[in-house]
Structure formats: structure tokens, C-alpha cells
Structure 1
């Protein structure tokens, strides 16, 4: 991963390069291989680089187009960048590096904001377009790469992490009480709020445009949304199996493009096991990493939490170079301060073993494949879905799941807990927040399969 940050003084005042450097310094852990800055009067872009493709100085960022009109600060990876590069070269674009970053830059020059629909990858990037005197912030379809923004007065700020924004003297550390209510309901934040008032998370699959001289309120356009529908004319099940196999192989193969060594997390489960099996076909003796637990004091169901035996069996099967670490009592407490600093918000699903196994992997490789998201894509945890099998309509579906997702404090008690500040949060309707998560999607809801999807 890389780190990006920036300042846009909407009133035309010059940007402080000292402050911009502070913003990138605080996220140096995201990009230890280099730093870069671009300042031009009222606009400043910063970058911390983690070099993965083309390790030469030619990949330095922020990156400026050949005509000097477009500037890019980019975090991510475009998996189909080689195909896009060939297309752009045929259109007359010249390249100085082998990076996917330069493909993104030239794609913007050629196609403008429409270029994002051509990208297959995970990304969050900023574009300063002199031609339009506008700053653009762009995030990938599923929001894999983070991108935050905020505006105080005439100072618009953005960064890969909230801490970058907070380095600017205009920033304020005030609690967003409405976000806190949302968190204490869902153990998550579904809106674009954060726990710091005024700092927002750019929605996934979005392009934000901020104009010079504006009030700093971004014009946000959604460029993509998922649409799950059962086919009107289903094919033979074998055709679906064949297509899924092709897509899985293609996805893994594309993510193995790297000029540095990469590895894979291997827990012994289906998700990481599948990825490791596919990667091992192209990378013999790939390094794999797993995290286990000290079982000396474990009993009952706790004994099943340690997956080292299964991971070792898979490692032997696919001939990986396997590394393990064992966590003991006290390890969670020991890592919490650093872990909280990096994740910034206590969202559901954050796991301290992931933190440790990432540290282990970082001693050997710069990139790892992860099975995260497999359950969401392939229907893991089936007890989540039984509520969707019998639904009278969309509102009935929402009612059932809204009760299920009241993870911390239910509606009957939330008002009591927030009584001292209720007047400040009483206009927040968490049921509407939950409903809007699904309402915006273009789904055809007629059969049980539609609701499950």
C-alpha cells in the first residue's frame, strides 16, 4: 500500500510545504520506500511510496503528465494495467516507467473521470486537473482502499488515514456524536461519517470533485453499483463452475504481477487455501504465513481456534515455504495501543491475530494474498441468511435484519445511554441508515434467492 495526502486552499492562499510534509510523515508506515510532494500555489499533493511494480525512480509520485496539466497521487494496484497501457500507447501516449500509476495518469488525460470504469483493481487516488482547476478524489468499487476528506473554512484536506488530516493546524478533534450513536447500534458505521466530526470517508465507487473557490463541499458521483439478479435463462451448472474457475484463476494470476517477492496468508480454511493453491501453480515454494494459539491452557471449543495443523497440511500439499507464530495470553493487550492507532476506529471484524501475522509476513515479503472477503462472496456463515428466505417485501426484509444488526445497544436502551446528549443526536434514525444501505442498489426482489443475494 501507499499513502496519499493533500491540501487545497479554496481561497487561493499558498499551501505550506512544511505542513504537507507533516501530513505524509505521519503515514510513513504506508510507504517506507520514498516520499514526494507537488505544490503549486494553493494546491499541494503528498505521497508515501511502497514500491511494488517498477522499483526505479521513474515510479516516483506525485506524477505529472507529459503536458504538465494533470498531477496524480495514487494508492493501489490496477490489475489490467498492461492491457490499458497497450490501448493508450496505440492512442499516442508515451510512458517513462513500467508502473500502473502512469497508466492511471494517462488514462485520466485521455478519458477524464470516465477512465475509472475501465480499471480492474483496488485504488484510491487524487488528481489535480489544471484544465478544470479542480481536485478529484476517486475510490475503487468496493472501497478496499481508504480515502478520507474534510474541510474547515477554506481549507480542504484529504488523506489515506484520518491522522494525516489531523496534522493540519486547521483540523479539529471533535467527537461526531451522531457517528457514535451509529456505532453503538451496529458496532460499525454504515454512513460516510467517522468518529471525528467533519472528517468523512469517501464512499466506494465514487468520484468527488472539488472546485477552486467553492465552499469545499464535494460534488460526489457514484460510477458503479453492484446488481445481483438471477438469470432469466439459467445455464447448465457446469458452465457456471467453468466460468467461476476461470475468474478465480485470472484474479489470482493478475495479483501475482510484482517486482518484489510476495506470499500468502494460510489459515487452513477454504478461502486462503484456494488462493494459495492457485498461486502455488505459478510461484513454486511461495512463502505462507499463519498464526496459532498457545493451547497449554485451552479446553473445549477453544482447541479448535488453533489452525496450525490444517495450515501445515496445506503447506505440505502445495509445497510452500511456511512460517508460523504462536500467540499467548497477554499478546492482545500488548498490541492494542498500536493496533488502535493504525485502524483508527473500532470497527467490527478487526482481529488482533491479523495484526501479528502481518508483522510476521513483513519480515519476509512486501505483498501477501489474503482470503478476506471470501465469506461475503460465497455465502459463508449461513446462519446470517435464513432471515432472507421468507420475506413478504423489501420492508419486511429490512425489519428482520435491522434487529439482527443491533449489535451493541438495541433501540429500547439507546436513548437511555445517550440521554445526556440526546438533543444532539435525536434526528438520527438508525433504521433508515440501515435501510439505505440496501435501498440504493438496483436489485430485483421477487424470489428468496434475490433477497439472499
Structure 2
């Protein structure tokens, strides 16, 4: 994993090495620059494959025509290398970077269809003065870009774009509204009018001679299929083979490698496959003071069963300084990001970095195999609408009066959302369940602050994804999550917080073959009654303790409620007075959120956290940033 960056076209006088070191955390092992009259490329290297200096980047083809900067890993690079060698290509290194470079020379853009990996790379064609940039199929690795009249800038992080020239930036108010609804800003937009994210599964070509920019899609998340071409037993066999291959390929490394093990079915299945290949080091996160969040019992049970070397890491959650962590978030995300789970990723990868440099983890398993409670709730809501319609108002009135305590908040909150959704279409209900604040609510709050809802605001982003997927309710929900929550929430958080510690995460569930296989599964193979992830559990039932296979899903959740309760003076200092958030939101609403939480009438800790993150990010902006 690494950091990439580049400027094509007009370049101001600047210390470009200092500019490149803005993302040194992504690649602490080496930094390189390459430039000619028309282009400058930079690279921060985290050495994983071929640790020699010959594999440093930017890497130039032997004839000097192509130059590459690459972030990520190509897991099938050995088979691609063999194919290229058979075609007469000679290699100077053992790196996957050189395979990409030689592959692009031979196949051009068609190279993308051959890749199994996580990647963001840019290739400069010196002869035609054309830049080619590509991002992996599901968005594991990030690419930002900024297209101006005489210049094109790209980089792994937004700060590389916003730091150039001290140019004034204009806030995109629609992005801030979308953040408040979803907890993230979906691609291709960023908080700034001038900057964009390259969409997952997309590539672009920038022609420096003409300034023309062409974006295109090379892969898309498969919509739910009408049905599999296998029976259930064949599907079990196929899943085991596909997943074993995905895990095995992601174990290739020239540095110490391990796995994060929570004791849930996803991470346990990964470790089971890893243990069948070689010895494994596993790590889990433990809570000394918050036992309701702790999963170390199950992680240890799996580790003992599979006979792997297991370490429990105990970050000092009680000592987490909210102010310091918010500063870390702002530094590494460069945009508002509301999922506090990223704190766990940051603390876990920081502690694990003392033992290994790379770890496999289970992100994506829920989205592929129907693991979230909201999927089952959709099925129940679809059956219950007609039956329960007469009692909905009375039930909602009762649920509204119930207080939310830390232990009961999930049940009370989900019950409220479930009953309020029964009068809505499934797509709208699903969006409401996955939102921090309702879209209509946030729009009215911005209007109260004097800001109209901008044209193009994606208030129905998730609902539209759900509705375009077809008639299969669970399939539609999985499809919507794979196009929204997975890339822009989970994967974005995983990348920023792991790379903040110079640590690489690998995700065997989200390979292209796994995504395509899961899309063809009928709902009954994912959810049957109360049994979620049915197929995945049946495949690994013989390999794991039955207690682990049968346990209910528990999220990877930080103790945000406890942090906020202990940090009230800090919260007051952030959200009271002349906070910048009141330039875009109604003060009364924000104060209601604060008061409801501290009076314990409502466990809105995640919503309150997202407001604090937004204010902290706004405070980080230069005064020259244009709010209006």
C-alpha cells in the first residue's frame, strides 16, 4: 500500500518533495519523484512485495515511454507475469508494479479486466502526453482528482489537491447535506466544488495536449440475478473453493502478515482458510472496562480450535482523548466522515503494527451474504405491512415515550424505525434505516439556516440504488449497500485509518469473483427464518466451533456513548458559542440533539458524533474557504 500523486500541465514553483510528504504515513519506506516538462509523479512506498529498491516508484518502462505510480496490490500478478513472460516480456523486478506497467503496454485499458486486486494507479504516456488513471472494482483504494483549465492533479488523499497554490475552495453544500444524511459523501463528489473522487470500477484518461478528460466505467457491481445455475450443495462447494482461492492469494507477502479475528463468522472463515495454507498470527481487540462490546471470548475459542497464534490487543479506550482523535480523523480523512468505528480500526492497526504489517479482515461479508439485521427486517416489514397497519400509530406513540439506555438502545431504536417504515416503500424504508438523519429533516434544517437545498443533492441516493436492483428485496438491499455503505463508509474508513499507521488491510470477501457469486444467490440461501448468512455458515460449520457459527451478529462498535458521556465539557465547547456549523445548520436543532443525549431521553450518540465531526472539520478549513 502506498500514496500516489501527480500534476499534469502547468506547475507552480513549489517544494514538490514537501508536497509529496503530506501522505508519507501511507508509505514510510521510500519516497520518489519523477518529472519531465509536462508531468510530475510522486509516490510514498510501503514495501510489501519485492522489498528491493528496484521496485521503488515512480517506475519507468525500459524504453522510457510509460511511467507508473501504483497504490495497492495485484493478487493475481504471478499468473499475469507468467502470461507476459510467455509473450516475450522480460522483467527487472519481482514486483506487481512492473506487471501492471508491462501489462498496460501490452493490453492497454483491457488490462483492467484481468486484474484481481485492490488498486489505484496512474500511468503517464510520455509520447502521447496522456495520463491513464484507474481505481479498483469496489473502491478499496482511493483516488481524488482536480481538473482545471491548464492542469490536472490527482492523489490518494484530498489534501494533495487542496494544498496546491493556496487556491480558494468553494464548499459544495449538497455534499454537506449528503454527509448529514448518510454519514459520508458518496463519490464522485467531495466537500469542495473543485475536487472529485474517481468512482469505484472507473478509469479516466486526461489528454494534456487538449485538456480533454474522459471518464468511463470498466466494472460494475452485479445486480441480483434471477437465480443460480447450481443446487445448494454445489453452491456450498463453489463458495468454499472461491473463498479459499481469494484468501490464499491475499496471503502473498514479503513482510509479516496476520489476520484480525473477532470470533464472528466472517473473520473466523478467513482464519480457517489461512490456517489450511500456513501458520497464522491473529489479533483481536479487547475492552477491559466495557464488557458489552468485548468479543475476545469467541475470538479465543476460534483461535484455540484452529490452533493459531492469537494476541488480544487492549487499547486504552477509557483514555481516548476525543479532541486528539478528532484531529487525527480530520488530518487523515480531509472530509467529514461520521462512522466512529474508524476509531477501532485506527487503534487496532496501530497496536497490530508492532507485530505485522499486513492483515486480512472480514469487511464485506455482511453485504454479500445478508448479515445485517436490516436485511431480515426488510423481509419482516414486507410481510407485516398489511397486518400491522391498524396498530402502527399506537405502537409508535408507545415506542417514542420509551427512554434509550446503552443496553436497550438498539432494540428501542430499531423498533421505532421498523414501525415507522411500515407505511413506506421498501426502498425508502431501507434508506431511512441506513441514514443518520432523514433527508427531509436535514433539508429543512439547512433552509432554517438560510441555505436552500442545492440542485443535484442526492437525497434519495440509497433508495434509487435499491429500486434499480429489481424485485428481490434482500438482493436489492445488498446491491444498494455494495454501491454505497461498503465503498464510501466501510472501505474508506478502513483505508484512511489503517494507512494512518502504515498498515495494509486485505479483504478476501470483496474480490470480483466473490461479489459475482453472491449476487446470483437466492434470498433463501442468505436468510432463512432467523438464520442469516445461511450459506456461509453451512460451508464453515464443520471447520469452526458450533457456538461460533450459531452466535448472533455483533457489530464492530466503539464505546461512543461512554466517550460522549465522559466528554460533555468538550462537546459543549465544540458545539456552543460561535461554532461554524451554524452557518449551514439550525442552532436549535443541534442543541436539541445535545440535550436529548445528555438527558438520556435518546441514544443519538452516532448522530451527535457526526455533528461534532462536521464542526471539527469545518474548523479545520482555511478562512479563505467560501461557505456561500
Bigger mean CA offset, 365-374 vs 99-108: 365-374
Q: Give the direction of change, closer, same or farther, for the CA distance of 1:293–1:449 in structure 2 (3 Å limit).
A: closer
Contact 1:190-1:434 within 8 A present in 2 as well? no
Contact 1:15-1:43 within 8 A present in 2 as well? no
With CA pairs under 8 Å and 6+ residues apart, which has the higher RCO, 1 or 2? 2
Aligned to 2:258, the other structure's residue is in SS state: strand
Residues 75-128 of structure 1: per-residue CA shift (max 9 Å, x gap)? 111111111111111222110000010000001000111111110110000110
Residues 51-85 of structure 1: per-residue CA shift (max 9 Å, x gap)? 11111111011111122111100011111111111
Aligned to 2:451, the other structure's residue is in SS state: helix
Alignment of 1:383-394 (within 5 A): 383-387=374-378, 390=382
- From 162, 170, 173, the counterpart of 1:166: 162
Contact 2:432-2:438 within 8 A present in 1 as well? no
CA shift, 1:15, in A, is: 6.5
Residue 190 of structure 1 is matched in structure 2 by: 186
Aligned to 1:293, the other structure's residue is in SS state: coil
Aligned to 2:268, the other structure's residue is in SS state: helix
Kindly indicate which of the two structures has a greater share of residues assigned to strand: 1
Alignment of 1:137-148 (within 5 A): 137-148=133-144
Residue 318 of structure 2 is matched in structure 1 by: 329
Contact 1:38-1:62 within 8 A present in 2 as well? yes
CA–CA distance in structure 2, aligned partners of residues 281 and 451 of structure 1: 34
CA–CA distance in structure 1, aligned partners of residues 245 and 450 of structure 2: 52
Q: Give the direction of change, closer, same or farther, for the CA distance of 1:366–1:172 in structure 2 (3 Å limit).
A: farther
CA shift, 1:130, in A, is: 2.5
Q: Give the direction of change, closer, same or farther, for the CA distance of 1:212–1:170 in structure 2 (3 Å limit).
A: farther
- From 423, 427, 433, the counterpart of 1:404: 433
CA–CA distance in structure 2, aligned partners of residues 309 and 370 of structure 1: 18
Contact 2:129-2:209 within 8 A present in 1 as well? no
Residue 319 of structure 1 is matched in structure 2 by: 307
CA shift, 1:233, in A, is: 6.3
Residue 257 of structure 2 is matched in structure 1 by: 262
CA–CA distance in structure 1, aligned partners of residues 477 and 376 of structure 2: 6
Residues 209-266 of structure 1: per-residue CA shift (max 9 Å, x gap)? 11114446x3110011122344556422110000000011101100111111101111
Residue 86 of structure 1 is matched in structure 2 by: 82
RMSD of the alignment, in Å? 2.5
- From 364, 370, 375, the counterpart of 2:366: 375
Q: TM-score, structure 2 length as denominator? A: 0.65
- From 351, 354, 367, the counterpart of 1:363: 354
Unaligned 5+ residue runs, structure 2?
386-423, 479-628
Kindly indicate which of the two structures has a greater share of residues assigned to helix: 2
Q: Give the direction of change, closer, same or farther, for the CA distance of 1:267–1:111 in structure 2 (3 Å limit).
A: same
Aligned to 1:76, the other structure's residue is in SS state: strand
Aligned to 1:6, the other structure's residue is in SS state: strand
Q: Give the direction of change, closer, same or farther, for the CA distance of 1:447–1:146 in structure 2 (3 Å limit).
A: closer
Aligned to 2:137, the other structure's residue is in SS state: coil
**Pairing 1:224–2:226 present:** no
CA–CA distance in structure 2, aligned partners of residues 427 and 233 of structure 1: 41
Q: TM-score, structure 1 length as denominator? A: 0.89
Structure 1 runs of 4+ off > 6 angstroms?
none
CA shift, 1:412, in A, is: 3.9
Q: Give the direction of change, closer, same or farther, for the CA distance of 1:231–1:180 in structure 2 (3 Å limit).
A: closer
Residue 8 of structure 1 is matched in structure 2 by: 8
CA–CA distance in structure 1, aligned partners of residues 476 and 461 of structure 2: 18
Contact 1:22-1:167 within 8 A present in 2 as well? no
Contact 2:183-2:339 within 8 A present in 1 as well? no
**Pairing 1:274–2:269 present:** yes
Aligned to 2:318, the other structure's residue is in SS state: coil
Residue 458 of structure 2 is matched in structure 1 by: 430
CA shift, 1:432, in A, is: 4.5
Q: Give the direction of change, closer, same or farther, for the CA distance of 1:233–1:398 in structure 2 (3 Å limit).
A: closer
Residue 291 of structure 1 is matched in structure 2 by: 285
Residue 336 of structure 2 is matched in structure 1 by: 346
Q: Give the direction of change, closer, same or farther, for the CA distance of 1:144–1:413 in structure 2 (3 Å limit).
A: closer
- From 174, 178, 183, the counterpart of 1:178: 174
CA–CA distance in structure 2, aligned partners of residues 206 and 107 of structure 1: 18
**Pairing 1:59–2:47 present:** no
Contact 1:138-1:207 within 8 A present in 2 as well? yes
**Number of residues of Structure 1 aligned to a counterpart in Structure 2:** 435
Contact 2:284-2:312 within 8 A present in 1 as well? yes
- From 303, 308, 314, the counterpart of 2:296: 308
CA–CA distance in structure 2, aligned partners of residues 163 and 451 of structure 1: 35
Bigger mean CA offset, 92-101 vs 275-284: 275-284
CA shift, 1:131, in A, is: 3.7
